[in-house]
Amino acid sequence: MKITLLNFTPNPEKTIVLAAKLCYSDSSISQLEDKVKDVSVEKFLNKILQMGHLSVLEHSTFTFGIEGISRATSHQLVRHRLASYSQQSQRYVKFKEPEFVIPPTIKNNDGITKKFSDTVESLYDFYQEMLNAGIPAEDARYIFPNAATTKIIVTMNARELLHFFGLRTCERAQWEIREMAKKMLSLVKKEAPLIFKKAGPGCVSTNKCTEGEMTCGRPDEIREEFRKL
């Protein structure tokens, strides 16, 4: 999979501080812009996050290019409703070569992996046969498996991203969306380290696992991993 941070709100952390300051100030917005220059962004952002005044985080957005994930994972991704998506169409695009994701459990099973690849490739052969027989791509695609790769552009604001990372970087999430979410987190952490300092599963963001009996039981290891991310 390939994940790229295509774009984001300029000065994402300052933008959020400005929005929060506005709520509690009698100054004009231009006066506030001047005042914000001298404010400790770290101190103020920490205060906002601690207070739970999270709506101001919605003013900073991040746009990702995501390629080479399976349709199984893109379906999980688009369940997150507070985001914008543009996905490569299987109706309008005709696929020439088989491109699909092989889960590690299948890749590492010598008896299964070849059969998996052969089966998926035979589906793509049949897809091509249907196109050649005049079946429209939008109908021939019904033969594609969940493993088929896709491309999608996603825009989320910082509030939704924190929520998304909470769910999808957790060990309870499936390996592929977890891998994708961690890559997204490492990209935004570089651009907005204060917002995403504690982003991650419950054991990282609140120091407390929220998964009950479904816990992975490895909070210290996970915290260490996210500290280095």
Ligand X SMILES: Cc1cc2nc3c(=O)[nH]c(=O)nc-3n(C[C@H](O)[C@H](O)[C@H](O)COP(=O)(O)OP(=O)(O)OC[C@H]3O[C@@H](n4cnc5c(N)ncnc54)[C@H](O)[C@@H]3O)c2cc1C
Q: Which is catalytic among the residues 71, 141, 159, 168? A: 168
* Residue owning tokens 């909070």: 219
In the Cβ-directed half-sphere of 4, how many Cα atoms lie within 13 Å?
9
In the complex, the residues that contact ligand X under the rule CB under 6 A are: 79-82, 160, 163, 167, 172-173
Contacts of 39 (CB under 8 A, 6+ apart): 17, 21
- Containing 63, the helix (H) or strand (E) segment is strand 61-70
Confirm if 176 and 70 have CB atoms less than 8 A apart. yes
Find the shortest distance in angstroms from Cβ 167 to ligand X: 4
Q: Which is nearer to ligand X, 167 or 209 (CB)?
A: 167
Q: Which is nearer to ligand X, 173 or 209 (CB)?
A: 173
Residue 181 CB, nearest distance to ligand X (Å)? 10
For the question of residue 141 being annotated catalytic, the response is no
Query: What is the closest distance, in whole angstroms, from the C-beta atom of residue 44 to ligand X in the complex?
Result: 25
For ligand X, which is the closer residue by CB, 23 or 82? 82
Q: How far is CA 35 from the centre of its chain?
A: 34
- The residue with tokens 């590690």 is 104
* Residues belonging to the active site: 168
